[in-house]
Amino acid sequence: MKLIMLYLVCIFFSLNEFAIAKTTGVNAQINPYKISYKGVDFILENAKVFDKYIYMDDTIVGEVNDNNEAIFDPDYIIYRGDKDGFKSIIIDYRYPENNLDSALEQYPFNNKLLPYTLAAPNQLGAGSCLYMATTGAVELLVNQQKNITYDPNLYDGDYDFSERYLMNLYVNGYNNLYDLVYKINVAGGMLLNKDYRFTMGYYKKNLLGKLVKTYASDKKAIYGETYNWINEYSNSGLSKKIVPLNKLDRELIFTNSNRWNVGVMSGTTVQKIKDKLDQYKAPVVVIYNHYGYWHAVVIVGYNDNVEIAGCPFVDSTLAYFKKNGNNTYYNKIVNAKKKDGGCNTSRGVFYIRDSIYNGREDRVIYNYDLNKAGEEKYYAARIIKKSYHWIKYLGNNAFVIKWK
């Protein structure tokens, strides 16, 4: 029941809901923003425009001139694709990490964990964010311990762990969202993704409302990533394949009983997260309100040097709450911004490993179902950036995952 509840409340959506909109201030429209790039009209698929500047998350990646032509920062790489019959543009960060952000010496920064970070399979509508985040943090720690730096060939390898295993693992007494690492300790380690895959399959609900496995021929069958919540581990004998790990631990930085809460963190919390990244050289899991859902991600670094302009991610969240009549959260964010001066800093981002944003680094495809063709998708973006304002106004929980 605890697992099902986490599934229901964790972020659950199709990325199509994130069609990028032309925006002015906090008044966002639904229609995608069309621009011209090298003489061809395109839709921006994973970016948005504020006052002629092109943003991905809270970071400026280019601008649109008076002729509605896009000019992109050379630190970003552009992919062409198709979306709903239109030509589209997808923006991604350039790699490797030693090329990220010039003049780093001018301001405090920490990007030491980035080379050890693997991308997550895109969670799609699975509602598995907390398990994606925890699995990614453990993978990072193991890669760091063994000095294994990023390579796309690491996927489905000897230290690419199974998110689904953690979703299905039950250990009595460890059902708090902070306690997943202790479940891993009791179990003795992690299963590999290649042994227990984050997958897709045919499922339905039985008469008791429980998710059960079924077949394509079943008229009630649904095919998709929700299948991962069906526990096929407990009686599988796969425990013999668990990869043993050193004992893990976690240290709480900020806690709040309401995982949807907003306006409860501050600049002090931002600094504490940065301090823990420096102290432990270990990732920080953050829970925040993502357009009305609670969502978990992994912070793997920070950089005070990166220029930002306001806080468009926070502002677009405000627009969402206002449009949908969520006055409680809207007012809490507005009041918090008034209390500490709003988005009054012009620099500073966290490096984040997420599981929901389209990624095209190395053009690596994730195969959800090895017995079926056509369901394959790119891994989620390995590293994204969000400004410190994101934490201040939308975050509600933060904790370090580290070795004991």
Side chain identity at residue 377, one-letter code: K
Exposure on the CB side of residue 95, measured as CA atoms within 13 A = 21
Q: pLDDT digits over 115-174, tens only?
A: 999 999 999 999 999 999 999 999 999 999 999 999 999 999 999 999 999 999 988 878
Q: Residues of the chain with pLDDT > 90: what percent?
A: 58
Q: Taking the model in full, what pTM does it have?
A: 0.79
Report the pLDDT value the prediction gives residue 66, as an integer from 0 to 100. Answer: 75
Report the pLDDT value the prediction gives residue 204, as an integer from 0 to 100. Answer: 96
The secondary structure of residue 152, as a DSSP letter, is G
Which pLDDT band holds residue 373 (cuts at 50, 70, 90)? very high
Give the DSSP H or E segment for 329: helix 327-340
Strands (E), 165-259: 189-190, 201-205, 211-213, 222-224, 243-244, 248-254
Decide if pLDDT at 388 tops 50. yes
Mean pLDDT, the chain, integer: 82
The secondary structure of residue 249, as a DSSP letter, is E
- Alpha-carbon torsion angle 200, 204, 205, 211, nearest 10: -20
Report the pLDDT value the prediction gives residue 16, as an integer from 0 to 100. Answer: 26
Neighbouring C-beta atoms of residue 351, cutoff 10 Å: 27
- Domains of the chain, first to last: 2-403 (3.90.70.10)
- Give dist(CA 402, CA 404) in Å, integer: 6
Decide if pLDDT at 9 tops 50. no
Report the pLDDT value the prediction gives residue 275, as an integer from 0 to 100. Answer: 96
Helix, strand, or coil (residue 323): helix
Decide if pLDDT at 401 tops 80. yes
- Give dist(CA 368, CA 173) in Å, integer: 31
Which pLDDT band holds residue 346 (cuts at 50, 70, 90)? confident
Long-range contacts of 356-360, Cβ-Cβ distance < 8 Å, separation of 24 or more: 356/11, 356/13, 356/15, 356/122, 356/123, 356/129, 356/295, 356/380, 357/15, 357/46, 357/381, 357/384, 358/15, 358/45, 358/46, 358/90, 358/122, 359/92, 359/119, 359/122, 360/79, 360/90, 360/92
Q: pLDDT digits over 246-278, tens only?
A: 999 999 999 999 999 999 999 999 999 999 999
Residue 56's closest CA among 364, 316, 395, 330? Answer: 316
Which pLDDT band holds residue 8 (cuts at 50, 70, 90)? very low
86 or 175, higher pLDDT: 175
Q: pLDDT digits over 203-242, tens only?
A: 999 999 999 999 999 999 999 999 999 999 988 889 999 9
Q: pLDDT digits over 21-36, tens only?
A: 222 222 232 234 566 6
Helix, strand, or coil (residue 53): strand
User: Please, what's the b/e burial string for 139-165 (b: 16 or more CB within 10 A of its CB; e: otherwise)?
Assistant: bbbbbbeeebebeeebbeeebbbbbbb
Q: pLDDT digits over 68-124, tens only?
A: 777 766 555 554 555 444 455 555 544 333 333 333 334 567 888 999 999 999 999
